[in-house]
Chains A and B, each alone.
Chain A
Amino acid sequence: MSKKTKSAGIEIPTKDGLEGFVYDEQIVRMFSWATVIWGIVAFLVGVIIAIELAYPDASMGLPFLSFGRLRPLHTNAAIFAFAGNAVFAAVYYSTQRLCKARMWSDLLSRLHFWGWQLIIVSAAITLPLGITQGKEYAELEWPIDLAIAVVWLVFFGGNFMMTLIKRRERHIYVALWFYIATIVTVTVLHVFNNLWIPAGLVQWAKTGDMPTMSMVMKSYPVYAGVQDALMQWWYGHNAVAFFLTTPFLGLMYYFLPKAAERPVFSYKLSIIHFWSLVFIYIWAGPHHLHYTALPEWASTLGMVFSVMLWMPSWGGMINGLMTLRGAWNRVASDPILKFFVVGVTFYGMSTFEGPLLSIKSVNSLSHYTDWTIAHVHSGVLGWNGFMTFGMLYWMMPRLFQTKLHSKKLCAMHFWLGTVGMVLYILAIYSAGVTQGLMWRAFDESGRLQYPGFIETVTVLIPMYWIRVLGGLLYLVGALIGLYNFIQTWRSRPEKYEEVVHYAAPLGKPGKDPQAESRLHANAGFGHAGDKFLQGDWHRKLERLPVRFTVFVLIAIMIGTLVEAVPMFMVSSNIPTIASVKPYTPLELAGRDIYVAEGCYNCHSQMIRPFYWETTRYGEYSKPGEFVYDRPFQWGSRRIGPDLAREGVTNPSALWHYKHFKDPTDITEGSIMPKYPWLFTQKINFTNIQGRVDAMAMLGVPYGDLVLEGAASEAAKAQALEIAVRLEEEGGPAPDDVWDTKVIAVIAYLQRLGTDLYAEPDVEVTDGEVSP
């Protein structure tokens, strides 16, 4: 009687000593559909917020449609829903084939799929409600963070690693190395950037009263100010590296040879590409913080490694394009290859531009402008988007065991997407360079040539409309893709044929031929050295997934620790300023509203030490000013002006009151949305006590304000003070406004940047800087 192997619960007889197995195609189909559907959602929200920039009234005064709340939904949907599901579809399809094994657990695969979709739905609900941690690409609040950790590491990572361990192919193909790096690094990034204290739980533990839902979801990071900024951009940059780059390189190394029907141009180059990228990428994060309050050594370190990224990135890009050697004639007629070629080309463009933008002198012009936005869109729409669509067009007919419905529609999708992208990024490049040059322009008398920030905004409106058009074309292309996939699916067979694959079971690595010494010397050390140099150890390493994973972990942790340890241990990195005090309870509540409304999406709070910035905004920002900022709110973009010294340059309560009601009343041509809900929604003074208590747990010296009800009472007193001052300036009666949210936000804005000019309460001690 022949032996049998079990695959998907089905017993399959062995054949000539080979084990039979079937692949789990259904999970690939599920992730593929999710990719297309969430992609369209991400593109649609992108078009909506692009329209809002050119025509702010498009948000109709509705809080959940405002730019600040929708922009995180757009970025999260594009990264984690569209690109994320594409990565999973690619991993489940290619891993099974490269390992010659079905995924280890169908149950874990399904838990992964449904868990991930639930996380996306949670994001789609909470972000428009203003439930956010206020850190770019890490906005999701703590319960969702916990769900991500479980779904990513246990369901996805566990299933993937067990499949590698149980594989039937000795060598682990390079695409799988990129997947390993993705799983390991994203886990490390996610965990260390999401260490927080849930404020609602602190309140509940202290009082026993159940907090409101928004308070239950609220958390504060354990890091503050400069340290929070370093951690966030270590995370933010490497989310691009290990969520949007390494898994897509794995995808490229598997699907491009498939589509071109020839092996990768140079497998050797792919190995160098892998190790160089994994080692270098993790160091580059600080380039997002040039000329900020981040210490200079960290900033330079980030720049040096960013420039070095040119080598492996372009090595990989050339490797991808050269894989098409001898097949270029097919590119003209095959739209799938067109998607791949343009995708890889955009990888080359983005990875040229990234290091360029990391060079300090270039960054001084580009930072906070739309140039960065153009850069990320060329990466996500061009590289991630087109690699994904290329993969889907190649894979969908195979998954549905039929032919693609229409090659013409596929070509139409390609051209609409390409033209849309070109329109989009050219308009936004122009907008970015225009902004950067206008901000730094001085006239003949040495004064700012464009002193009103609004002048640098209104000039961009035509470019914003071109951007809308470009985004619409990309969206229409994706809708055509969806139609093509649905029609392809409709022509599937009544029952999918399950194909049995056969492969020999894997023997133990120790049985492989061992390297022989090539030396004639009689020294044992010499023979051992020569065997080492022949590289058996590395080939063995490549076959041992767990050990290989440990090596990847070591490679990424070197860069992480070298940057993080001095940042957290060297006290001189953040000189304390004696006059900097914690926010009052009302200011803290106002700050939380600022975070919830996503103001950081349009306003920075970081004045760089450039003459054109200090002339426009005031004294440059100091590291010690941010020691109580949880989360930091430096921002990465200036659609509106910097607010770091708002309390110094613009202290009027009435100005802010009117500005929130209708920004165009104050500044003609302003594209800031109106915030009518801030005038009707009440401040929850009970919750303020919980916020202060949570901050106190993190070491903020709140003294007696942690006593029961003390913070709430202090907040009420300050709210009344501001309401009275508002009336004195010609505003409404205090009774009408004192307990509305706008008062809390005004309190926060009036405080911004003022500590530097305040008198310290105590004598200045060693290590502190007098203001």
Chain B
Amino acid sequence: MSFTEIVSNMDLTVYPIIAMVCFLAAFGVIAWRVFRRPKGVITHEAMLALDDGEIAPMTNDHTGKGESRG
């Protein structure tokens, strides 16, 4: 029996139900995983958007040139 025949003989009306169950299972696993994450880790990760790193203005001694007006 070819793959085409197998797929053609399936009752595709149950597809939406199977798909929904698959998603809910995946959703449950992800949610469970996320809420078990250590608080310190989460706090560090959330702060990354505000952290631009340690900065120092570049002087011409470093480069001998600056970015031109553009």
Contact string against A for B residues 17-49, beta-carbon threshold 8 Å, 1 for contact and 0 otherwise? 001101100110011011111000111111111
Contact of B46 among A264, A492, A497, A502 (CB under 8 A): A264
Most buried by A among B12, B31, B48: B48
Q: Can you report 21 residue pairs joining A to B where beta carbons are below 8 Å apart?
A: A13-B62, A100-B53, A279-B23, A301-B16, A303-B16, A305-B19, A305-B23, A495-B66, A496-B67, A496-B69, A497-B58, A499-B55, A500-B55, A538-B33, A558-B22, A562-B15, A562-B19, A565-B7, A569-B3, A570-B8, A571-B8
* CB within 8 Å for A500 and B56 given contacts A26-B67, A253-B49, A295-B12: yes
In the complex, are the beta carbons of B57 and A499 less than 8 A apart? yes
In the complex, are the beta carbons of A498 and B19 less than 8 A apart? no
In the complex, are the beta carbons of A267 and B46 less than 8 A apart? yes
- If over half of A's interface residues share one DSSP class (helix, strand or loop), that class is named, otherwise mixed; here it is helix
In the complex, are the beta carbons of B55 and A495 less than 8 A apart? no
* CB within 8 Å for A10 and B62 given contacts A275-B26, A500-B55: yes
CA gap between A496 and B63 in the complex, in Å: 13
| A520 interfacial by beta-carbon distance below 8 Å | no
Number of chain B interface residues as a range: 35 or more
A548 nearest CB across to chain B (Å): 14
* CB within 8 Å for A257 and B50 given contacts A495-B67, A495-B69: yes
In the complex, are the beta carbons of A263 and B47 less than 8 A apart? yes
User: Which B residues are in CB contact (< 8 Å) with A97?
Assistant: 52-53
User: Which A residues are in CB contact (< 8 Å) with B35?
Assistant: 268
In the complex, are the beta carbons of B27 and A502 less than 8 A apart? no
Contact of B58 among A271, A279, A304, A498 (CB under 8 A): A498
In the complex, are the beta carbons of B54 and A503 less than 8 A apart? yes
B27 nearest CB across to chain A (Å): 6
| A677 interfacial by beta-carbon distance below 8 Å | no
| A557 interfacial by beta-carbon distance below 8 Å | no
CA gap between A258 and B52 in the complex, in Å: 10
User: Which A residues are in CB contact (< 8 Å) with B12?
Assistant: 295, 297, 566, 570
* CB within 8 Å for A280 and B23 given contacts A501-B55, A503-B54, A535-B37: yes
| A448 interfacial by beta-carbon distance below 8 Å | no
In the complex, are the beta carbons of B23 and A497 less than 8 A apart? no
CA gap between A571 and B3 in the complex, in Å: 12
In the complex, are the beta carbons of B41 and A272 less than 8 A apart? no
In the complex, identify which listed stretch (A169-177, A357-365, A387-395, A689-697) lies at the interface while the others stay far away.
A169-177
CA gap between A534 and B33 in the complex, in Å: 8
User: Which A residues are in CB contact (< 8 Å) with B54?
Assistant: 18, 501-503
User: Which A residues are in CB contact (< 8 Å) with B53?
Assistant: 97, 100, 501-503
In the complex, are the beta carbons of B58 and A173 less than 8 A apart? no
Q: Which residue of A lies closest to B30 (CB)?
A: A275
In the complex, are the beta carbons of A263 and B49 less than 8 A apart? yes
Q: Which residue of A lies closest to B64 (CB)?
A: A10
| A572 interfacial by beta-carbon distance below 8 Å | yes
Q: Which residue of B lies closest to A280 (CB)?
A: B23
CA gap between A539 and B19 in the complex, in Å: 27
Q: Which residues of A (601-636) have their CB < 8 Å from a CB of B?
A: none
User: Which A residues are in CB contact (< 8 Å) with B41?
Assistant: 539
User: Which B residues are in CB contact (< 8 Å) with A569?
Assistant: 3-4, 7-8
User: Which B residues are in CB contact (< 8 Å) with A498?
Assistant: 57-58, 63, 66-67
In the complex, are the beta carbons of B69 and A500 less than 8 A apart? no
| A308 interfacial by beta-carbon distance below 8 Å | yes
Contact of A502 among B20, B31, B45, B55 (CB under 8 A): B55
CA gap between A765 and B30 in the complex, in Å: 51
User: Which B residues are in CB contact (< 8 Å) with A539?
Assistant: 41
In the complex, are the beta carbons of A571 and B58 less than 8 A apart? no
User: Which A residues are in CB contact (< 8 Å) with B27?
Assistant: 272, 275-276, 279, 311
Q: Which residue of A lies closest to B70 (CB)?
A: A26
B25 nearest CB across to chain A (Å): 11
In the complex, are the beta carbons of B70 and A29 less than 8 A apart? yes
CA gap between A280 and B22 in the complex, in Å: 11
CA gap between A533 and B42 in the complex, in Å: 17
A514 nearest CB across to chain B (Å): 14
CA gap between A166 and B47 in the complex, in Å: 21
B47 nearest CB across to chain A (Å): 5
In the complex, are the beta carbons of B23 and A308 less than 8 A apart? yes
In the complex, are the beta carbons of B66 and A496 less than 8 A apart? yes
Most buried by A among B7, B15, B45, B50: B45
- Please give 4 more A-B residue pairs, beta carbons under 8 A apart, in addition to A275-B27, A496-B67: A268-B42, A301-B15, A502-B56, A558-B22
| A423 interfacial by beta-carbon distance below 8 Å | no
User: Which B residues are in CB contact (< 8 Å) with A276?
Assistant: 27, 30
A634 nearest CB across to chain B (Å): 22
In the complex, are the beta carbons of A297 and B8 less than 8 A apart? no
| A22 interfacial by beta-carbon distance below 8 Å | yes
CA gap between A308 and B63 in the complex, in Å: 55
B9 nearest CB across to chain A (Å): 9
B55 nearest CB across to chain A (Å): 5
* 4 nearest A-B pairs in the assembled complex, by CB-CB distance: A267-B46, A297-B12, A263-B46, A495-B66
CA gap between A171 and B42 in the complex, in Å: 10
User: Which B residues are in CB contact (< 8 Å) with A301?
Assistant: 15-16, 19
A509 nearest CB across to chain B (Å): 14
User: Which B residues are in CB contact (< 8 Å) with A444?
Assistant: none
B11 nearest CB across to chain A (Å): 9
User: Which B residues are in CB contact (< 8 Å) with A169?
Assistant: 48
In the complex, are the beta carbons of A497 and B15 less than 8 A apart? no
A508 nearest CB across to chain B (Å): 19
User: Which B residues are in CB contact (< 8 Å) with A13?
Assistant: 62
A36 nearest CB across to chain B (Å): 16
User: Which B residues are in CB contact (< 8 Å) with A500?
Assistant: 55-58, 62
User: Which A residues are in CB contact (< 8 Å) with B55?
Assistant: 499-502
Q: Which residue of B lies closest to A275 (CB)?
A: B30
B33 nearest CB across to chain A (Å): 6
CA gap between A425 and B48 in the complex, in Å: 37
B70 nearest CB across to chain A (Å): 6
User: Which A residues are in CB contact (< 8 Å) with B67?
Assistant: 25-26, 495-496, 498
User: Which B residues are in CB contact (< 8 Å) with A644?
Assistant: none
CA gap between A493 and B66 in the complex, in Å: 12
CA gap between A254 and B19 in the complex, in Å: 32
| A728 interfacial by beta-carbon distance below 8 Å | no
Q: Which residues of A (167-190) have their CB < 8 Å from a CB of B?
A: 169, 171, 173-175
Q: Which residues of A (308-345) have their CB < 8 Å from a CB of B?
A: 308, 311
Q: Which residue of B lies closest to A297 (CB)?
A: B12
* CB within 8 Å for A499 and B34 given contacts A308-B23, A572-B8: no
